[in-house]
Amino acid sequence: MGYLRVGLLLALISLVCAETPDARAALDRAYELLKTKDYASAIESFQKAIEIAPSNPSTRKDLAYTLLKIGEAEAARDQFEEAVKLDASDDHVALEFAFLCYETKEQVKARRIFKRLAEAGNATAKEAFENVDVPLREGIARTSKTLELDPQNFSAHEELAHLAEQRDELELAREHYEKAWKLKPQRRDLLLDLGRVLKAQDRMDDAEASLLAASRGAEPRIAEEAHELLPARYPYVYEFEKALELDPSNIELRRELAYLHLAMSHAPEAEKQFEVLVQGSPDDLLSVAQLGLMRLSRGDEAGAMPLLEKVLAGSDDDLADRVRSALHLPKTLKRREEQPRAQVSDEAKELAAKSLEKGYLKDAVKYLRVAHENDPVDFDVMLKLGWAYNIMKDDEEAVKWFNVARRSPDEKLAGEANRAYKNLKPALQRFRTTVWASSTFSSRWRDDFTYAQAKTELRLDHVPLRFYVSARFIGDARGAVDARAGLGPQYLSERSLILAVGAATIPWRRITGWFEAGEAFRYRTTEADGGRIVPDYRGGLSFGKGFGSLLANGAHGRFAEMNLDGVFVSRFGNDSLLYAQARAGYTLRGAEGAKGFHGQLLWNFNLTADSKSQYWANFAETGPGFKFQFEQLPASLLFSVNVLRGVYLINDGNPRRPNYNELRLGVWYAFSN
């Protein structure tokens, strides 16, 4: 009982000390920053609190949720994992951790947690476990049946191994990774998979042999992952030998063992390894030279000279000079010819293409720069550098390469570079002015409506907001229509020029927030309007996304688009409105004549609603439409024709019929500098 009391006392002390005054201050600061949505600073404060009091699971949980707000799923997952370690009884945090594991491709770990929580009676975890486990079970059964019919099917062995590993059937996974490896021993990524499974089975000697083989002679990414799973120390001789038993054709692995023997003064063992290397790879001049020199050093001139003469006749002049020096011969006086620049450039471009294909962007940039240095007028390399930097989110560097690539004599290449340059350049300017205008004719109102805006934005480095001044025009030709039931005229637009200052967020996952304050100058007023100049406050969120073949030069095929806008407008009685628009259809091929006429056949789905339930702001519309442009005219000049059937969703106070038909003709144009 005495030991129990001491343990309880120590636990109580640790809980009391888990949150020091400094940690509490950092936490308070973090929560204040969360209220203002300054997530980056809040994260720094949470991290500071964790440094002071690392054993507080609540802090890690709150940090994880904050990281999720900025899209850092992997970092959030790691914090949830730490919180679970600190408080294994918190099933909610464990469930959050499991879902994030699944989203970040750690399915094995996710399945284990779902299974544990499901067995404890958690219904959500049980459902999630079944969603994960059923496809694995079915996949294992399917591929097992395939292997019964075709035991030499490499793809089936590989797939079965992956499925079994995800389902924690480690012995089944090991068996089929080994079989897949034997069928294709050049696939050293399978050795990485095999080593990972053996390590999970606690078969450390076998695991290290497999990982050691994968860490030598494989592509850089595989080798790096294998290194991370190996012990930090340098491998022992017996570990190299065991790895070679598994992968006897691994030249890099065997050469490293041979040099290890040399370093340990084990000359006979080293010579044996070099003999195997030369037998398996007679063109490996470095191993040929080393074996020849070793034989020469022990007096076997007959065995050494054929090897050394082969090196002297080879293309490696530096290696040949080393042999000449060992044989006390004069060094060659011939000047080594440089590799042609064009050949270097082609090789670098080939390596860059492979790196881009596999997603190794930094390697791709390195090889593309080598290619550019050797062929400075290769515009294709410049364009690829632009795209590589663009994918890496380094748009300032990308726009430089697009700028030079658009001077290419190849019109197609120059056109692609020019479009990329024009898309990126405006967002990087300190000041950017955009102007857009839209004119729409409505048969329902027998009126033409015009909307236009000119806006100049200020971009500040490392500030996630764009500050702007704007002038917006909203008006119509007709002005007003007579309402029924003696309600007086109904005005069809705001009939105003609005001058405002505002701020907008940088788009995040296609979402933009904005707010502005200004004054509206009415160009047509009545006594009911309350004055010619009135305050105008607006703000909202917008989201837009397109799928498939959108209306752009050369595109054709199916497409879909959607736009969501939530807007607050003070002039409508502090009302908030939601606009949802969706279009789907088919983009036609552009015509060669008629200035490149290019159109879309589409169907519209529109919904408008507001927070005050006013009839004019709550309606749904649907109907066919046609949108078109001319490819030889500015891309932002768009025309549209829509035939819509609409219904008011709220009819209290509606002086018109609940349904309507409308022909809507529109023109849109925009430009920026």
341-428 and 433-672 in the same fold: no
**Residue 349, token pair as written in the block:** 């471009």
CA distance 258 to 269: 7
* Residue-range domain boundaries for the chain: 341-428, 433-672
CA distance 496 to 51: 56
521 pairs with which residues across the strands? Answer: 497, 533
575-587 and 447-459: which strand pairing? unpaired
pLDDT of residue 490: 56
pTM, entire model: 0.45
pLDDT of residue 259: 82
Q: Are 384 and 403 in contact (CB under 8 A)?
A: no
Contacts of 340 (CB under 8 A, 6+ apart): none
Determine the number of helices (DSSP H) and then strands (DSSP E) in the chain: 24, 14
Q: Are 494 and 510 in contact (CB under 8 A)?
A: no
CA distance 247 to 224: 18
The stretches in the chain having pLDDT less than 50 are 1-19, 332-339, 484-489
Amino acid at position 383, single letter: L
**Burial of 537 per CB tally in 10 Å (0-12, 13-18, 19+):** middle
At the top level of CATH, the class of 433-672 is mainly beta
CA distance 294 to 304: 8
**Residue 336, token pair as written in the block:** 């080594």
pLDDT of residue 6: 39
CA distance 598 to 556: 9
Residue ranges in 340-394 assigned as alpha helix (H): 341-358, 361-374, 379-391
DSSP result, 286-333: HHHHHHHHHHHHTT-HHHHHHHHHHHHTSS-HHHHHHHHHHTT-PPP-
Is 341-428 assigned to CATH 1.25.40.10?
yes
Q: Are 293 and 271 in contact (CB under 8 A)?
A: no
Contacts of 131 (CB under 8 A, 6+ apart): none
Contacts of 356 (CB under 8 A, 6+ apart): 364, 384, 388
CA distance 247 to 234: 19
**Residue 254, token pair as written in the block:** 């065997």
